[in-house]
Amino acid sequence: MATPPGARGTARPATTHPHPATAGHPTVLTGATVVLPTGTVENGSLTIHGTRIAPTAPKNAQAIDVTGHYLIPGFIDLHNHGGGGASFTSGSVDDILKGIHTHRLHGTTTLVASTVTGDMDFLTRRAGLLSELAEQGEIAGIHFEGPFISPCRKGAHSEELLRDPHPADVRKLVDAARGRAKMITLATELPGGLDSVRLLTDHGVIAAIGHTDATYEQTVEAIDAGATVATHLFNAMPPLGHRSPGPIAALLEDDRITVELINDGTHLHPAALQLAFHRAGAHRVAFITDAMDAAGFGDGRYWLGPLEVEVADGVARLLTDGTIAGSTLTLDRAFKRAVTVDGLSVEDAVQALSATPARLLGMADRIGSLDPGKDADLVLLDAHYDLKGVMRRGEWVVGPQLH
């Protein structure tokens, strides 16, 4: 069983060690199907020099033949609570690093660490610890999911710890994160919700609408106030109705909104995913994991914040009432499912797993595509879309498995 809530330790440099790069020499990966923003290139090549993608291959470059494989950008997860048996909400620094590394092994080269509902003092302490890891480059920032959510749509959050999104409380979390808060999920229909959206927008933090019982009209108000993300669309919100369309219709129809989707086969029916893609387009969809401790680890009992979770056959549910409690998803599985089950093109899947979240995080100048000058973050897949290599900032986290 995972350790119950309680932060331990202080941040320090990571102790995980990727496979060494090729002795600092430039490397060119040849023969691959390379997915670029301008289109897919068959029998293409990609050059890595140091930590970056290089525009051309120098004469002394070491060649690695990856014929028959796809080269795509590293995955970017906007919403992730843990993995490898470790929780970002309650684990020690070593636990957090273990969780981060677990997801890197599955192709997630950039990750935003998500917390779950807790009391304000606990969350501000976690913000301080996680902000240190963000400063060290281990995570891209912090996402606070709760406590400012609706008790009607609480999902796997402790109802006793929920509170209205009063701007003063929201500001406490932003300040505690020391500039590393990337996103806060709010039920914007609650008292203080719209003012908090405006506050977050003014501070450069994404205001996400989620765990909400809002009407269509209330959701439109929140979007006009500055909200730009739908936290795991369809989940923890009223269903789409033909007389009362609720938040789903408002979030899908507005080009200012990026919608998160959990593509694990449990949270969404394929038809719901197709509806979101058809209405929003890949440029407005971000696949996320919403992963909890069990991702990449296995079935058993865990803690999600103060609530106990049982994972069976890869599905996480609260022990008390069976509510789905996050996922055990990794983004390599989300990618493969998108292409093989949902019928998406490789290009659209790459957009939803890399380019769209990079843009949303304001990091598209560094990550999210295989353009020269960007970080050498990439995933190598075989013809069946199974992961065969992961590179992060020019170092192999998973060395190329070509045979």
Single out the catalytic residue among 77, 290, 293, 348.
290
Residue with tokens 């979007």: 223
Q: Which residues contact 378 (CB under 8 A, 6 or more apart)?
A: 46, 71, 72, 73, 74, 109, 370, 389, 390, 391
| Strand intervals (E) in 263-371 | 285-288, 300-304, 307-312, 315-318
For the residues of 63-101, what is the DSSP string, one character each? EEE-TT-EEEEPEEEEEE-EETTEETTT--HHHHHHHHH
> Which residues are registered as beta bridge partners of 55?
none
Q: Which residues contact 226 (CB under 8 A, 6 or more apart)?
A: 197, 198, 200, 201, 207
Nearest alpha carbon to residue 356 among 277, 242, 248: 277
Instruction: Characterize the bridge pairing of strands 315-318 and 307-312.
Output: antiparallel
> Which residues are registered as beta bridge partners of 82?
87
Number of H helices, E strands in the chain: 10, 21
DSSP state at residue 393? T
Contact by Cβ (8 Å): 302, 311: yes
User: Quick one: tokens of 319?
Assistant: 């022990």
What is the C-alpha separation between 148 and 185, in angstroms, rounded?
7
Contact by Cβ (8 Å): 181, 142: yes
Cis-peptide into 147, omega within 30 deg: yes
| Cα Rg of the chain, angstroms | 20
Residue type, 82: G
> Which residues are registered as beta bridge partners of 300?
311
Residue 262: strand, helix, or coil: strand
134: part of which helix (H) or strand (E)? helix 120-135
65 flagged as catalytic: no
Residues catalogued as catalytic = 290
